[in-house]
Structure 1
Amino acid sequence: MALKDVKNRISSVKNIQKITRAMEMVAAARLRRAEQRIEALRPYAGAIRRMTRQAAEAAGNVPSLPILNEHESEDTIALLLVTGDRGLAGAFNSQIVRAGVRAGSQYETEGKSTVWYASGRRGVSSLTFRGRDAKGAYTGFTDRPAYANAREIASDLMAAYVDGEVDRVEIIYNRYISPLTQEVTRETLLPLQHATILEGGEGLGGRAAGEEEGQDHGKHALVEYEPDPDAILERLIPAYVEISIYRALLESTASEHGARMTAMRNASENAGDIIKDLTLEFNRERQAAITQEIMEVVAGAESLV
């Protein structure tokens, strides 16, 4: 490789390294804000869970609300994939798509049909590429999801469930653990498990949603409901579903920024290694060129003697 070509490659790699370092810093700043939003959500999510459980306890038997009715059979499964709008985040998007396609194929081998929903342009485009059209496509907000976005998705999923279009709804997303670790999580969203509401299991609003150990135990204050608990529960159940989706969106956003920050850091380090190798090659080529010129000068001088 000519010296000029090596020098041009070094310059281009340095420019790429500047971009990846800038993207890493942007992702780190956005990650911090995403973590703060998750922390702010936890008290509200915990309150929703407690209120829902207490209202269900006050109502005695869980009322036969359409959203609480479990279908006789589960022939149609809705899968909601939560991905990002952009790439350059390592395996963040691809692992969700792979997990979703794997789950869909498993249901299809069991003779069940699947209905696809996707949040994020990467998920929508990946499903389309694989010949699986998304009935619900939600894009343009993955960098900073709002509660209204979760409400829109929840409304479509609950309507499909109540109308009998789907018998089960599952959500697949990246659960945020740390900037270096994101765990692919698959959860059942509908039908709502009554035991989870009544017994306070590890569903939405458990300790992961903001309850400290020892909280919400012991005796409860006497509560009088106006209107009756059934009517209150009818309003709380949709909020329960919405907050579940909103939590998944926030977890996915934090995971995306963490994955992008890690990917850009690795890219910057790899660029540094390439620059070192190219610089070594450049020096070697330049030394060889200098040595060749010296030999030519010596040979010319000897020919004059």
Structure 2
Amino acid sequence: MANLKEVKQRITSVVSTQQITKAMKMVSAAKLRRAQDRIVQMRPYSQKLTAILNNVSASSEGAADIVYAQKREVKKVLIIPITSDKGLCGAFNSNIIKATNAAIRQQFEGKEITILPLGKKAFEAFKKTDYTLVDQFYGVFLDLSFDVVREAAEFAMDGFAAGDYDQVTLVYNEFKNVATQIVQTEQFLPMAKEETEEEATTAETDYILEPSRAYIIEELVPTSLKIQVYKAVLESNASEHGARMTAMDKATENAGELLKELRLMYNRTRQAAITNEILEIVAGANALEGS
């Protein structure tokens, strides 16, 4: 049985850990509210813009000439895994790493792979591999804004337009709620048309476009694609704080359970020590009486 000093040290250590996890849970809860507000506000705008773009491009004679929609034989692939900069958020980051590796094995076996990580954890994971690594944009979460994310999106778009990549894929966590994040492996380029309720409604709308339909497409397509990447980053950011809040809440509960066991052990050890002292005193008194 452990001595009292060891048990007391363990209790002190667990109490300190519990205070840290509780504080981290509160910080994540505060950050989650802001991140959740941002993604909730972004989703309708992104969906509406995509629906309008699909409507306009579908009815345009020059839609097939959109450079970002051109399909070609896939030989070179750019994958953009989006993780966090920090850990202590459960399986949040490892799920993205696993999904990226799974996509490479199942979809892009034998292709030339380039990784553009967004988030320090993705950068650290893939810099140990033999894949070509773009290390310019992994610090986007240090100062998260549309301008910062836009640079990474433009890099991918320019690479696709120049023929450096035949396909660009996003891997990120979609935010559902605090306890649920869904890993998405989504084709970014070439543009894939998605059928949605919003699009079905918009498809019946006849837009009057100025100065011209071709000009609108030329301006709208790049903007829509950049917003798509920004939306994925915001989804990941909200998911990160939700995952960390859940993980820290569970860690705090586990620390509480461990404290109960340690305090029970401490009391038992203390009782045993007192009992032994009493027995020693009684034995000594009996010995003195016998002598």
Q: 1:42–1:251: structure 2 CA closer, same or farther, 3 Å change rule?
A: same
TM-score by length of 1: 0.88
Identity of aligned residues (%): 37
Corresponding residue for residue 121 of structure 1: 120
Q: 1:131–1:294: structure 2 CA closer, same or farther, 3 Å change rule?
A: farther
The Cα offsets for residues 2-57 of structure 1, whole Å up to 9 and x where unpaired, read as: 20111011011001100000100111111111111011112321331233133324
CA distance in structure 2 between the aligned counterparts of 1:141 and 1:112, rounded to whole angstroms = 27
Corresponding residue for residue 18 of structure 1: 19
1:201 aligns to 2:158 (yes or no): no
CA distance in structure 2 between the aligned counterparts of 1:272 and 1:149, rounded to whole angstroms = 41
Letter in 1 for 2:159: A
Q: Is the 8 A contact 2:174 2:232 kept in 1?
A: yes
SS in 2 for 1:174: strand
Corresponding residue for residue 46 of structure 1: 47
CA distance in structure 2 between the aligned counterparts of 1:214 and 1:29, rounded to whole angstroms = 37
Q: CA deviation at 1:222?
A: 5.0
Q: 1:222–1:177: structure 2 CA closer, same or farther, 3 Å change rule?
A: closer
Corresponding residue for residue 242 of structure 1: 226
Q: Structure 1 residues 132-141 or 227-236, which shifts more?
A: 132-141
1:293 aligns to 2:287 (yes or no): no
Q: How do 1:76-115 and structure 2 match up within 5 A?
A: 76-107=76-107, 109=109, 111-115=110-114
Q: CA deviation at 1:143?
A: 6.9
SS in 1 for 2:116: strand
CA distance in structure 1 between the aligned counterparts of 2:90 and 2:133, rounded to whole angstroms = 23
Corresponding residue for residue 157 of structure 2: 158
CA distance in structure 2 between the aligned counterparts of 1:166 and 1:221, rounded to whole angstroms = 35
CA distance in structure 2 between the aligned counterparts of 1:275 and 1:24, rounded to whole angstroms = 19
Q: CA deviation at 1:106?
A: 3.2
Corresponding residue for residue 260 of structure 2: 276
CA distance in structure 2 between the aligned counterparts of 1:222 and 1:44, rounded to whole angstroms = 18
**Structure 1 unaligned spans of 5+:** none
**Structure 2 unaligned spans of 5+:** none
Q: 1:167–1:255: structure 2 CA closer, same or farther, 3 Å change rule?
A: same
CA distance in structure 2 between the aligned counterparts of 1:100 and 1:222, rounded to whole angstroms = 40
Letter in 1 for 2:120: R
CA distance in structure 2 between the aligned counterparts of 1:289 and 1:185, rounded to whole angstroms = 58
Q: List 4+ stretches of structure 1 deviating above 3 A.
A: 106-109, 130-133, 213-218
Q: Is the 8 A contact 1:63 1:230 kept in 2?
A: no
SS in 2 for 1:129: coil
CA distance in structure 2 between the aligned counterparts of 1:222 and 1:190, rounded to whole angstroms = 26
Q: Is the 8 A contact 1:86 1:122 kept in 2?
A: yes
Q: CA deviation at 1:251?
A: 0.7
CA distance in structure 1 between the aligned counterparts of 2:10 and 2:113, rounded to whole angstroms = 49
CA distance in structure 1 between the aligned counterparts of 2:59 and 2:8, rounded to whole angstroms = 75
Q: CA deviation at 1:69?
A: 2.1
Q: How do 1:200-279 and structure 2 match up within 5 A?
A: 201-202=195-196, 211=198, 216=202, 218=204, 220-223=205-208, 225-279=209-263
Q: CA deviation at 1:129?
A: 2.4
Q: Is the 8 A contact 1:143 1:253 kept in 2?
A: no
CA distance in structure 2 between the aligned counterparts of 1:245 and 1:108, rounded to whole angstroms = 21
Q: CA deviation at 1:63?
A: 4.8
TM-score by length of 2: 0.92
Q: 1:32–1:216: structure 2 CA closer, same or farther, 3 Å change rule?
A: same
Q: CA deviation at 1:150?
A: 2.4
Corresponding residue for residue 35 of structure 2: 34
CA distance in structure 2 between the aligned counterparts of 1:80 and 1:136, rounded to whole angstroms = 11
SS in 2 for 1:15: helix
Q: Report the number of matched residues.
A: 288
Q: Is the 8 A contact 1:55 1:230 kept in 2?
A: no
CA distance in structure 1 between the aligned counterparts of 2:272 and 2:143, rounded to whole angstroms = 55
Q: Is the 8 A contact 2:55 2:203 kept in 1?
A: no
Q: Is the 8 A contact 1:58 1:229 kept in 2?
A: no
Q: Is the 8 A contact 1:120 1:137 kept in 2?
A: no
